[in-house]
């Protein structure tokens, strides 16, 4: 995600322990390392990122100017050859980076913010490296996806990352309609210019009462986490939205079980010698219904069969 790291975040915010990486932090030769960069606060930079920037033979960056500005704030110097690696040249640059790794050089890949390949360049490179047997490793770190999910207050045990929705209205609506019954918490990236329109589309498709969270400027000075319904978030963003945005939406509630679905099973158990009430209770416990719901449905079904 293309978070802009504010210049007011000084290099002094980096923990002192991160300025002296151990030998194990040194990037491996002949290997491509995907390194996460801060999504806002430079104090989140890892020791392995600092070591990679200083010691990698080749550093491939989504925006070289932003990376150099980040390195300055981190108090490190990019020691290797710096290459631009973005969505417009990713396909062509992939072959060059693979050649560098095959030649025994260490290659560090970074995006503007967060983890490369997650809605940023890097995916094609990893696929190509895997196909050709070139080692790939990760220097993990800040993630806008996990940060937003953790702070949202919505269920975190199961979630789906949906990235950026299509920009065209029709395509966006179709994408949202395909997620109407998704029961996992959903995480979306969105630009501040389109946030209001996207929230409005979500409210129309998912329902205005669906719970959601608008995360803005995560880890930055003006961080804001607004928890509400989709309808309330539409109203709250009517004027304007500033900064980088992550939208977290609660999953759809589980569809209530139909008592009729367990009625036949209860009757079959009863035909095998079990009392119908006991059979209904057994089926109800399995499908998440009350025993009397299944029992009444079974009695109704038996009457129709007779």
Structure confidence by residue, pLDDT tens digits, 168-221: 999 999 999 999 999 999 999 999 999 999 999 999 999 999 999 999 999 999
| pTM, rounded to two decimals | 0.76
CA 93 to chain centre: 26
109 against 255, higher pLDDT: 109
Of 99, 33, 23, the residue nearest 60 (C-alpha): 33
Pairing of strands 185-190, 245-249: antiparallel
pLDDT of residue 290: 85
pLDDT, average across residues 32-41: 95
d(CA 107, CA 94): 11
Check whether 11 has a pLDDT greater than 80.
Answer: no
Check whether 5 has a pLDDT greater than 60.
Answer: no
pLDDT tens across 109-124, in order? 999 999 998 888 899 9
Q: In what order do the strands lie in the sheet with 107-110?
A: 81-84, 58-61, 107-110, 32-35, 136-139
273 contact partners, CB below 8 Å, separation of at least 6? none
pLDDT tens across 92-107, in order? 899 999 999 999 999 9
d(CA 44, CA 158): 25
Tokens 């367990």 sit at which residue? 262
DSSP label at 62? S
Pairing of strands 159-164, 58-61: unpaired
pLDDT of residue 120: 83
pLDDT of residue 170: 95
pLDDT of residue 9: 36
152 contact partners, CB below 8 Å, separation of at least 6? 185, 213, 215, 225, 227, 248
Confidence grade of residue 306 (pLDDT, cut at 50, 70, 90): low
pLDDT of residue 302: 85
Q: What are phi and psi of 162, to 5 degrees?
A: -105, -5
């Amino acid at each position: 995600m293309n978070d802009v790291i504010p210049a007011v975040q000084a290099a002094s915010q980096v923990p002192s322990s991160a300025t002296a990486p151990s030998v194990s932090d040194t990037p491996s030769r002949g290997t491509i390392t995907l390194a996460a960069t801060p999504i806002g606060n430079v104090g989140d930079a890892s020791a392995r990122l600092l070591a990679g920037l200083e010691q990698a033979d080749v550093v491939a960056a989504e925006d070289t100017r932003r990376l150099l500005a980040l390195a300055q704030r981190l108090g490190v110097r990019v020691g290797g050859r710096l290459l631009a690696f973005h969505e417009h040249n990713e396909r062509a640059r992939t072959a060059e980076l693979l050649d560098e790794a095959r030649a025994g050089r260490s290659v560090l890949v970074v995006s503007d913010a967060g983890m490369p390949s997650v809605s940023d360049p890097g995916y094609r490179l990893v696929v190509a490296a895997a196909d050709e047997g070139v080692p790939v490793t990760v220097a993990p770190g800040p993630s806008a996806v996990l940060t937003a999910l953790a702070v949202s207050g919505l269920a975190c045990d199961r979630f789906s990352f949906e990235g950026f929705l299509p920009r065209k209205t029709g395509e966006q609506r179709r994408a949202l309609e395909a997620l109407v019954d998704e029961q996992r918490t959903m995480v979306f990236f969105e630009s501040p210019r389109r946030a209001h329109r996207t929230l409005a589309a979500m409210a129309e498709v998912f329902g205005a009462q669906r719970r959601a969270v608008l995360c803005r400027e995560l880890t930055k000075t003006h961080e804001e986490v607004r928890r509400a319904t989709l309808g309330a978030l539409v109203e709250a963003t009517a004027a304007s939205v500033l900064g980088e945005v992550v939208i977290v939406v609660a999953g759809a509630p589980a569809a209530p079980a139909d008592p009729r679905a367990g009625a036949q099973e209860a009757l079959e158990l009863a035909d095998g010698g079990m009392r119908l009430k006991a059979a209904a209770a057994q089926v109800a416990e399995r499908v998440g219904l009350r025993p009397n719901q299944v029992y009444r449905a079974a009695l109704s079904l038996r009457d129709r069969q007779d």
